[in-house]
Structure 1
């Protein structure tokens, strides 16, 4: 864990390391160290992209001395072909990827902040992308019919699996898939409070963005052994916000109450 000042300083120090080497073009902070620094807290970490000159990508992936010279690393895990998850010895955690400029056209990320830029680098297009963010939107639905009927069928299938003893699969269908489908339409069901929405996951900061739903969602996710009870809570919510098919509702209740 680290303070806001420590996180931002570490990112600036990484920029300094890149500058000294002269092989990088841009250091882009994303997530809470991007343009949303106001939400940094003691549980935040470093998320960043490094854009390097042609021919240097593999060197920056295979050799981490450009990070080690900033602060010693105690853990490294190459989680993608482009980058790592890391932990510095002082407890600062980070995730990053290294790209060449031409790859950025196909990279999805939340709005970014230029932390460091090579003075000789003057590509206005990529600077514009970095400031505005090449975003991938979450799967928000434009109507209620599809996601809420999907949620309804998730409940039915999940309870059938629970009945045959497939408790793990049942928990996923009911407590994960059904809830995810509701989240994809939640902006149509409840006023969203303005608090840093995440382009990659509607569940992020749900408690502040949708406080009313947050008061109920705990009853929808009661755990491995309580899938039938969770399903009943989800069904009741669906019935409140949508004209649920009466026969499907009856079948789901019959299954849940008989388990």
Structure 2
């Protein structure tokens, strides 16, 4: 059995455990174990919704015996009001939420896959009534302006000795803006609606090849800032000369 098949089999086992638990109605697979199984691999998580009878939600959140019955749990914690993150003893990681049917109308989520449902449950339960908001990008003027300001302020903090803050501004926030700029221009295949850096290496190969220089680490923020500035220049971004000169002065200082 391949790792992908093993993960899908584990989700089926969780579904059987839910079915035997008495008050469960359905299990909805999401993400790579939902409708995107083509990208499932050995490093994927199990993301799912457990749908339970009205007034049963607390029982399924407070007592994870139904999940432990599918495979022993090594660790878990409640990360939201509705769900947990959990590590199974063999290394399978789960992230899930528990909902009662009446709650789903107010929950935005990507369409899922019905792994199991009790007889009589409407299969349309996997379709969100409140879909995720469309992923909209800012305009290029804002993206470039933010990137330049992140570089400038980040380098000022570097000079002050705030190296962690500097790294995050330059190699985090400014890099995020470069990702947005390439996304705005190239319109690559859709990524994760919650996180544009997910699967970037597969979607934006040119930018991915630049990443070693753009994110070299804690001690290399000035070099990263100059690499990011050069990346903006290569893309023909409209750059203010005074800001560019100030970034060079701070990086070389």
TM-score bucket of the superposed structures, by smaller chain: over 0.9
In structure 1, the partner of 2:69 is 69
Deviation at 1:187, TM superposition (A): 1.8
Distance 1:123 1:30, change over 3 A: closer
Matched, 1:202 2:199: no
Q: Which consecutive unaligned segments of at least 5 residues does structure 1 have?
A: none
RMSD of equivalent CA atoms: 1.9
Shift of residue 145, structure 1, vs aligned partner = 0.7
Distance 1:207 1:238 in 2: 19
Alignment of 1:230-241 (within 5 A): 230-241=224-235
Structure 2 segments unaligned to the other structure (5+ residues): none
> Does 2:183 correspond to 1:187?
yes
1:254 partnered with 2:249: yes
Offset, 1:156: 0.5
Cα distance in 2 for residues equivalent to 1:176 and 1:123: 41
Corresponding position of 1:220: 214
- Partner SS state of residue 187, structure 1: helix
Q: How many residue pairs are counted as aligned between the two chains?
A: 251
Q: Which residue of 2 aligns with 1:166?
A: 162
1: CA distance between counterparts of 2:177 and 2:5? Answer: 38
SS at match of 2:74: strand
C-alpha distance in 2, partners of 1:163/1:216?
A: 25
TM-score, length of structure 2 as denominator length: 0.92
CA distance in 1, matches of 2:105, 2:230: 44
- Give the distance between the partners of 2:64 and 2:217, measured in 1 at CA: 41
CA distance in 1, matches of 2:185, 2:252: 27
Q: For residues 1-259 of structure 1, what are the structure 2 equivalents within 5 Å?
A: 3-122=3-122, 124=124, 126-129=125-128, 134-138=131-135, 140-190=136-186, 192=188, 194=189, 197-241=191-235, 242-258=237-253
CA contact (8 A) 1:29 1:114 kept: yes
Q: Contact conserved, 1:110 with 1:136, CA < 8 A, in 2?
A: no
Further displaced range: 158-167 or 71-80 = 71-80
Shift of 1:120: 1.9
- Equivalent residues of 1:52, 1:98 under 8 A apart: yes
Rounded Cα–Cα distance in structure 2 between residues aligned with 1:18 and 1:73: 15
- Deviation per CA, 1:92-114: give whole Å up to 9, x if none: 21111111223223333333111
Q: Check the 8 A contact 1:109/1:136 in 2, yes or no.
A: no
Contact residue 111 and residue 135 of structure 1 kept, 8 A: no
Q: In the TM superposition, what is the alpha-carbon distance from 1:161 to its structure 2 partner? A: 0.5
